[in-house]
Amino acid sequence: AQSVAQPEDQVNVAEGNPLTVKCTYSVSGNPYLFWYVQYPNRGLQFLLKYITGDNLVKGSYGFEAEFNKSQTSFHLKKPSALVSDSALYFCAVRDITKAAGNKLTFGGGTRVLVKP
Amino acid sequence: DGGITQSPKYLFRKEGQNVTLSCEQNLNHDAMYWYRQDPGQGLRLIYYSQIVNDFQKGDIAEGYSVSREKKESFPLTVTSAQKNPTAFYLCASSEGTGSGANVLTFGAGSRLTVL
C-alpha cells in the first residue's frame, strides 16, 4: 500500500525567511509526487509534481521541491516566504507501477503560518 | 473560463435526510473524483469515475452514492446511512483515466453540516 506522511501539523516562519514543508512517502515501486495548496474554504490548487529526471522541481509562486529517493522524501521549499503563502499544504503520491486508475494518496496536510 | 463548479457551497441537513451535492466541469476531463476532507485527516477518496456510466468505490464509499450520466457531471448523494456526514466535500477532475501523472483540478468545495 502507498502512503504519505507530513510530520508537522503546522510550520511557523517569519516573512522573508526560508520555508520548508516536509513530506515522506512509501510506495512499492516508483512514485509520482505532487504538492497542492489550499486556501481557507477553497479547493486545492496544484503547485508542482515530480515524474522523473531532475530531482529539483520548480513550480508555481516560487515554490520548489526536492525529490530524494534514498530518504523517500519530497520536501517543499521556498527561499523567501510571503504572508500570502499562509495556507494548508498537501503532499500526494501515486505508485506508477500500479494499474491504470490507481488512486492518489494524500498526506494529512501541514498548515503554514507566515508572520509579518 | 474552464473549471469545476460545486453547489451548494454550504448545506445544512437534518439527520435521516439524503442530500445531493452537485459537481459540473467544463474542462472536457474524462475522470472525476469526490473527496471528503476532515480537519487533520487530509483528503479521503469517496468515489471516482474514469468514463461516463462507470464509477468505482474509493476508500470510504459507505453511505454515499454517485452517478455519471454525462461527462460533465458527477453528483454525490450523501445518504442517511452515512454515520458522520458533517465534512467538507471536494470534487475534482483530471484528463485521461486517472493513471500517470495527471494533475487534479478541484472545485471550491461544499460544506455539509448535519444538525
pLDDT digits (tens, 9 = 90+) for B22-57: 999 999 999 999 999 998 778 999 999 989 999 999
Confidence at residue B15, expressed as pLDDT on a 0 to 100 scale: 87
B101/A109 touch (CB, cutoff 8 Å), yes or no = no
8 Å CB contact between A9 and A112: no
Name every chain B residue with its beta carbon within 8 A of the beta carbon of A45. 106
Per the document, the length of chain A is 116
CA dist., res. A24 & res. A19, Å (int):
17
Q: How far is A57 from chain B (nearest CA, A)?
A: 14
DSSP secondary-structure letter at B103?
P
* Mean pLDDT to the nearest integer, A16-33: 94
Cell numbers at residue B98, please?
486517472
CA dist., res. A87 & res. A26, Å (int):
25
Per DSSP (E only), the strands in A16-102 are 19-21, 24-26, 31-38, 44-50, 56-58, 64-68, 73-78, 87-95
CA dist., res. A28 & res. A105, Å (int):
13
* Of residues A9, A36, A43, nearest to B40 (C-beta): A9
Q: Which residue has the cell 451535492?
A: B21
Confidence at residue B26, expressed as pLDDT on a 0 to 100 scale: 96
Confidence at residue B52, expressed as pLDDT on a 0 to 100 scale: 94
Mean pLDDT, all residues of chain A: 92
